[in-house]
Amino acid sequence: MSAHASAHAAPLVVKLGGRALETPEALRELAADLAALAPVVLVHGGGAEVSAWSEKLGFAPRFSNGRRVTDAGTLEVATAVLAGLSNKRLVARLREAGVDAVGLAALDGGIADIVPHAETAALGAVGEIRSIDASLLRALLESGRVPVLASIGSHAGELLNVNADDLAGALAAALRARALVLLSDVPGVKLSGAFAARLDRDAIAAALESADVSGGMGPKLAAAALALDHGVASAHIGAWGGPGSLRAVLDRRAGTTLAAADSSTLSLTTAQPHA
């Protein structure tokens, strides 16, 4: 099915992180997966690159509950890397691979209404999403294009860093996406020493209170919960492992599937990481 033929279907929202962003080869492989799944909205991370540039410039990376502590210097680095280098490199490589990608940031066209985070005292120049205006994204999707969003927002004329998982979850909710996929280097949600193949909404809430969930997994689970609470049928957390990885996660052959309510999702059987 072509991108134009499927433009009016509910989009898939995919957040990219880790190895899925690292090499031209990975992005060419990813582009082939995406072309078969249109329409798609992409949200990208780039935290490793932000940290690397911060260290080069003398800013020690710091995190609190899986979110980057963003002082004035780190904000400039994050904006330059995420909305600049990382976004445009990703768009260039996707376009070269045949995906009609359009690079944006969360603030562009008022896509995301951002306010300072409730934990501003600890996090610094970090925002949280109050609402999403999906009209620009819908117009791009209807024209057969693939929006590629960096997680930089603004409030009262000032830039704010936004967690990319938070942005992906909010976009999936606003677009009534057919699914949310959070791809990184983590093959799923690990609880009690095993990767959970399936979790329902109650299990997500319990996991968020669990000592097993720490660092960046907390925002991923919160993003999945937000999407499910707004009518998205399923969310998926998995790793990029080469061609077919995205389809394997969507088909529940890899990663962790999260669904609002289904008796079959209560199992915590071990999921095998996709090779």
- The model's pTM is 0.89
- The 10 Å CB-count burial string (b at 16+, else e) for 221-255 is bbbbbbbbebebebbbbbbbbeebbbebbbebbbb
Least confident range from 49-58, 87-96, 221-230, 253-262: namely 253-262
Number of independent structural domains in the chain: 1
DSSP code per residue over 146-165 = EEEEE-EEEETTEEEE--HH
Phi and psi for 54 in degrees, rounded to 5? -60, -45
- Residue 138 falls inside a structural domain: yes
- Residue 271 falls inside a structural domain: no
- Residue 1 falls inside a structural domain: no
- pLDDT grade, residue 125 (50/70/90)? very high
Model pLDDT, residue 166: 95
Model pLDDT, residue 2: 43
Catalytically annotated residues: 15, 18, 47, 165, 220
- Residue 69 falls inside a structural domain: yes
Q: Which of 110, 102, 222, 115 is nearest to 172 (CA)?
A: 222
Token pair 């279907």 is at which residue? Answer: 9
- Residue 274 falls inside a structural domain: no
Query: How many CB atoms are closer than 10 A to CB 7?
Result: 17
Model pLDDT, residue 7: 53
Model pLDDT, residue 127: 96
DSSP 3-state of 133: coil
- Residue 5 falls inside a structural domain: no
- Residue 3 falls inside a structural domain: no
Sign of the torsion formed by the C-alpha atoms of 85, 69, 173 and 246: positive
**pLDDT higher than 50, residue 263:** no
Kindly report, residue by residue over 133-176, the tens digit of the pLDDT.
999 999 999 999 999 999 999 999 999 999 999 999 999 999 99
- The 10 Å CB-count burial string (b at 16+, else e) for 99-110 is bbbbbbbbbbee
- pLDDT grade, residue 271 (50/70/90)? very low
Model pLDDT, residue 19: 63
- CA distances, 175 to each of 14, 133, 141 (Å): 12, 9, 11
**pLDDT higher than 50, residue 250:** yes
CATH number for the domain including 180? 3.40.1160.10
Kindly report, residue by residue over 74-106, the tens digit of the pLDDT.
999 999 999 999 999 999 989 988 899 999 999
**pLDDT higher than 50, residue 275:** no
- Residue 215 falls inside a structural domain: yes
As beta bridge partners, residue 158 has 155
Cα-Cα-Cα-Cα torsion 105, 258, 69, 116, nearest 10 degrees, comes to 60
User: Which is higher by pLDDT, 28 or 247?
Assistant: 247
Model pLDDT, residue 6: 53
Kindly report, residue by residue over 47-81, the tens digit of the pLDDT.
888 999 999 998 889 998 878 999 999 999 999 99
User: Could you list the residue range(s) of the whole structural domain that residue 46 is in?
Assistant: 12-266
Model pLDDT, residue 9: 85
- pLDDT grade, residue 4 (50/70/90)? very low
